[in-house]
Amino acid sequence: MPQQPRPTPEPSLRRIHTFTDSEHFARQLARALGEAVTRIAEHRFPDGETLLRVRSPVAPDAILVRSLHDPNSKLVETLLAADALRRAGAQRVTLVAPYLPYMRQDMVFAPGEPVSQLVIANCLGQAFDRIVTVEPHLHRIQQLAEIFPCRATGVSSAPALAHWIQRTGGHPLIVGPDAESEAWVRAIADAAHLPWIVGQKERLSDHAVRIRFPTIPPCTRAILVDDIASSGFTLAVAAQGLLKHGVATVDAVVVHAIFAMGALTHIRAAGIRRIVSGDTIPHPTNAIRLAPLAAAAL
């Protein structure tokens, strides 16, 4: 009996595109969504300009994955990629930016400054139909939808961080470095069924902070949680305060591992035993997968 020809599979309506520097997160996202990943080809001209080429096939629903740490070198390429995807046939282009920059400058703090948050939100919001990011650094606004002209979703990392903390065992105290993080710290602690406190932080300069803690309940281990670790000074000062108050062991968990040069050395010198991070920014401390949370948002 002759074999029947196999039906040709329907082409996927969705495809993930990424740059080399974000390929790990893109592949984790693709695995969670059951989609394919293609890498965008990049050519750098001698004058510093970049030529991009998106590879076929381009599905009607294109997802671009690009973590935007070191933003000044990546934002132009990200905007060019959005245009290339549309010209290649994408009808809808979503940006998954595991780390979203310039969200802290949300007002004019001193005469002559820009509101960087609005500039970047408008620029990306005009280029993309949707933005998905993980734990955006927001202060005076509650949701990204307040500033983006397109649909925008900020995914909470709290469930993933709580799960990792639970797996470490014991009954540690969850500690946030400042009052602005209180709701997030509480969400992590509640999900992990653990006690928590937050400090009162005063930023003196880019490389100096002062942190005061309320009464610290008796504990042998504390876990500092923070959304961004850049210079490392906040974590270091917080750890020194906890150790001074009699906490025996201090670990740290951060979402976005920016870690400027020398930051890890400074953090470890302050007495932090172990530091781990989410995988929004590739770094040796990555231990917590956050792509499944972004996939759920999509």
Query: Phi and psi of 287, rounded to 5°?
Result: -145, -10
* 220 alpha-carbon distance from chain centroid: 30
Rg of the Cα atoms in the chain = 21
pLDDT value of position 8:
43
Do 139 and 199 sit in the same domain of this protein?
Answer: no
E strand or H helix that includes residue 256:
strand 249-257
Closest CA to 96 of 130, 65, 134: 65
Looking at the structure, tell me whether residues 180 and 87 fall in a common domain: no
Q: Is the same domain home to 149 and 174?
A: no
Q: How far is CA 19 from CA 30, 43, 52, 168, 184, in A?
A: 14, 12, 10, 33, 30
Domain housing 240: 158-287
Assigned domain for 295 exists: no
| Residues with Cβ within 8 Å of residue 261, at least 6 apart in sequence | none
Angle in degrees, 0-180, between the axes of helices 182-192 and 158-167, rounded to the nearest 10? 50
Query: Along the 298 residues of the chain, how does pLDDT read in single tens digits?
Result: 555 555 444 456 899 999 999 999 999 999 999 999 999 999 999 999 999 999 888 999 999 999 999 999 999 999 999 999 999 999 999 999 999 999 988 899 899 999 999 999 999 999 999 999 999 988 888 899 999 999 999 999 999 999 999 999 889 999 998 888 899 999 999 999 999 999 887 776 666 778 888 878 888 999 999 999 998 899 999 999 999 988 999 999 999 999 998 999 999 999 999 999 999 999 999 999 999 999 999 9
Q: What is the CATH number of the domain that holds 109?
A: 3.40.50.2020
4 within some domain: no
Any domain includes 5 = no
Within a domain: 8: no
Asked if 37 and 68 sit in the same domain, the reply is yes
Domain's final residue, options 100, 135, 155:
155
150 and 18, same domain (yes or no)? yes
Q: Judge whether 113 and 80 are in contact, CB under 8 Å.
A: no
Domain boundary among the residues 93, 122, 155 is at 155
Residue 76 forms part of a structural domain? yes
Do 51 and 137 sit in the same domain of this protein?
Answer: yes
Q: Is 174 found in the same domain as 136?
A: no
Q: Do 70 and 101 belong to one domain?
A: yes
- Number of helices (H) and strands (E) in the chain: give both, helices first: 8, 16
Check residue 206 and give its pLDDT.
63
Residues 34 and 143 in one domain: yes
Q: What is the pLDDT of residue 51?
A: 96
d(CA 20, CA 77): 12
Contact criterion met (CB below 8 Å) for 97 and 115? no
Whether residue 71 lies inside any domain: the answer is yes
Q: In this structure, are 125 and 79 located in the same domain?
A: yes
Rounded Cα gap, residues 102 and 264, in angstroms? 23
76 & 168 share domain: no
pTM summary value: 0.90
| Cα distance between residue 79 and residue 193, in whole Å | 42
Longest CA span, the chain: 83
Residues 233 and 270 reside in one and the same domain: yes
Total domains, the chain: 2
pLDDT score for 207: 65
- 3-state DSSP assignment of residue 45: coil
Boundary residue ending a domain (155, 181, 214): 155
State the pLDDT at residue 57: 84
For residue 297, being part of any structural domain is answered with: no
DSSP 106-135: -S-SSTT---HHHHHHHHHHHH-SEEEEES
Question: Is residue 181 in a domain?
Answer: yes
